[in-house]
Amino acid sequence: MTTGNVVAINGNMVSVSVKGDVSMNEVGYIKVEDKRLKAEVIRVRADQAELQVFEDTKGVSVGDEVEFTAELLAVELGPGLLSTVCDGLQNPLPELAEQAGFFLQRGLYLKALDRSRKWTFTPSVAEGDTLAAGDEVGSVPEGIFRHRIMVPFGWRGSFTVTSIKAEGDYTIDETVAEVTDEDGNTRSITMVFEWPVKRAIDAYAERQRPEEPMVTKVRIIDTFLPVARGGTYCIPGPFGAGKTVLQQITSRNADVDIVIIAACGERAGEVVETLREFPELIDPKTGKSLMERTVIICNTSSMPVAAREASVYTAVTIAEYYRQMGLNVLLLADSTSRWAQAMREMSGRLEEIPGEEAFPAYLESVIAAFYERAGVVRLRNGETGSVTIGGTVSPAGGNFEEPVTQATLKVVGAFHGLSRARSDARKYPSIDPMDSWSKYPSLVDLQMVEYARDILEKGDEVGQMMKVVGEEGTALADYILFQKGEFLDAVYLQQNAFDPVDAAVGVDRQRHVFDILFRILGSKLRIDSKEKARTFFYNLRQKFIDYNGAEWESDDFNSLESEIVKMLEDVSDGLEPNAEQAYNKRGSNA
């Protein structure tokens, strides 16, 4: 074992003179009083290494002993990860609390997975079978999922099965299979292995293009700014604009198998809401509690900064692991800016040459590499799995022209920019429909979406003009366009996250409601004054808001819909020509 001694201390960075070999990103422990503080090597120069310590360094002294582990910073992968709540280094927080009480205690590290719990293992290989890294040797049921037990991803070459356990109950540390490698050495496979968090798991056949929509049940997203399974998206926005609420509702409603929540350097209280509420909330798709499909990695703002840097990697590694089982996984990281800031703090202590706003020069490539870990993959057994990544960004001063937002925009497939003006006006979710974009396909007909977007843009232009020329200087036709845009915004783009019904709108309902909305937007209206136009749209809006709050396909829903349709028919002269054309061809470009 390589050892060393502390020679310098500056905040959470400790310099160590090393006796022996040491590798980059290797884990070491600093022995202080009766504690061992976990740290990661972040620079090696001759026989001196710089370590970022995952703990408060109070009490560390020059000369203190350091032990290196020869292992990179890694997480445990195995059954039992689902519904756990861990810190950035995968220490289970409820178990830490059992041992240490209200406060986190430095130097206390616990295994993420339960060692005593037994899992019902069913083998899926036989003696003599040949396997490679990532291949299945059997499975155990984990909640509603079939958790695949695999050959550790880091093993190179091919392996022949020499023994395999019969169906039965085993702990994760018991050997379930023995194999020999190409050189005839025997190795045992248990249900748990480690993987270094900063390396992407690549035990798959090929990567595919993300095309299938990942439904969030948020109308403005699914219809106008969709996200694809295996895709990436970001949510930049000033504080209070609604980034966290948007991620919280997505973590509940997203149509995926598993959700990994990375609470990275933001408020602890926000995680607590998820933590306390998810076990009580039933996932309509599975009938089980939402917690059973969720993993929470929680390294909030007052927890050690170096562990915050690690937390997003811990999260994405767990996401990739479940992807290897043919599942669709969504990783939500709030906020990637705090992760970038953790890098900045460390870069400053290393006295690296700073880039813009003192972020390190490698910021862009690190962000790009992180989002690259999303994707749809075809596994070697022919199944597909995906990791979708959605990250919030907290730009300084709410200004998107800053390094983290800009670096992120270069690599993601969809941009949901939150606007202060919209959140101030309580227009939630406050995604700016004009500035935001998505490269992924929508749930509804593309041409109809374009038509609606066009109304929104033109309506907005009229609105801007009206600020200059006044309502009296605006033509009736333009005024109606303006009202249509406002109406679309009020009843479709805005959605009340705290209304039991409106909070989550499924695919069928979105398609159905968009159809009606489209007919309103596309209609030639027989209205002869601005005052009447305003009243008409206000009344229609009122009905539509009630309609949005009515249970899907309930009597209330149906009767409100008839009233809306009747209100429209009373003044409609049919569709505008280009609306009619889009409407008649609908479905052909879905």
Stretch that binds other proteins, among 20-28, 281-289, 297-305, 570-578 (CB under 8 A): 297-305
Nearest of 282, 294, 332 to residue 145 by alpha carbon: 294
Query: Residue 311 CB, nearest distance to ligand ADP (Å)?
Result: 17
C-beta of residue 456 within 8 angstroms of C-beta of residue 427: no
Does 501 bind ligand ADP (CB under 6 A)? Our answer is no
Total residues in contact with ligand ADP, by rule CB under 6 A: 13
Spatial separation of the C-alpha atoms in residues 116 and 114, rounded to whole Å: 6
| Beta pairing partners, 136 | 150
Q: Give the footprint of ligand ADP on residues 230-269 (CB under 6 A).
A: 237, 239-245
From 497, 550, 565, 567, residue interacting with ligand ADP (rule: CB under 6 A): 497
Per-residue binding string, ligand ADP, 452-491, x by CB under 6 A, is ----------------------------------------
Query: Residue 390 CB, nearest distance to ligand ADP (Å)?
Result: 13
Query: Kindly report the CA angle at 279 between 278 and 280, in degrees rounded to 5?
Result: 90
Spatial separation of the C-alpha atoms in residues 102 and 263, rounded to whole Å: 19
Spell out the long-range contacts of 541-548 with Cβ–Cβ below 8 A and sequence spacing 24 or more. Answer: 541/487, 541/490, 541/491, 543/567, 544/487, 544/490, 544/491, 545/490, 545/491, 547/513, 548/491, 548/495, 548/496, 548/499, 548/501, 548/502, 548/513
| Beta pairing partners, 72 | 26
Per-residue binding string, other proteins, 98-137, x by CB under 8 A, is --xxxxxxx-------------------------------
Spatial separation of the C-alpha atoms in residues 63 and 15, rounded to whole Å: 11
SS3 (DSSP) at 461:
helix
Beta carbons within 8 Å of 151's beta carbon, 6+ residues apart: 131, 132, 133, 134, 135, 137, 159, 179, 189
Q: Which is nearer to Mg ion, 249 or 525 (CB)?
A: 249
Selection from Mg ion, other proteins, ligand ADP, none that 281 binds (CB < 5 to 8 A by kind) is none
Query: Residue 219 CB, nearest distance to Mg ion (Å)?
Result: 22
**Residue 159 DSSP code:** E
Does 360 bind ligand ADP (CB under 6 A)? Our answer is no
State the burial class of residue 181 (Cβ atoms within 10 Å of its Cβ: 0-12, 13-18, 19+).
middle
Q: Give the footprint of other proteins on residues 65-84 (CB under 8 A).
A: none
Query: Residue 60 CB, nearest distance to other proteins (Å)?
Result: 5
Does 385 bind ligand ADP (CB under 6 A)? Our answer is no
Spatial separation of the C-alpha atoms in residues 297 and 152, rounded to whole Å: 23
Does 408 bind ligand ADP (CB under 6 A)? Our answer is no
Query: Residue 44 CB, nearest distance to other proteins (Å)?
Result: 18
Chain mean position to CA 342: 19
Per-residue binding string, Mg ion, 221-260, x by CB under 5 A, is ----------------------xx----------------
For 92, the token pair is 């289970």
Q: Which is nearer to ligand ADP, 267 or 532 (CB)?
A: 267
Q: State how beta strands 48-53 and 375-378 pair.
A: unpaired
From 157, 184, 269, 500, residue interacting with other proteins (rule: CB under 8 A): 269
Stretch that binds other proteins, among 55-63, 167-175, 176-184, 315-323 (CB under 8 A): 55-63
C-beta of residue 560 within 8 angstroms of C-beta of residue 551: no
Does 483 bind Mg ion (CB under 5 A)? Our answer is no
From 303, 329, 452, 456, residue interacting with other proteins (rule: CB under 8 A): 303
Does 59 bind other proteins (CB under 8 A)? Our answer is yes
Q: Give the footprint of ligand ADP on residues 560-589 (CB under 6 A).
A: none
In the complex, the residues that contact ligand ADP under the rule CB under 6 A are: 237, 239-245, 428-429, 496-498
Task: Using CB under 5 A, list all residues that contact Mg ion.
Answer: 243-244
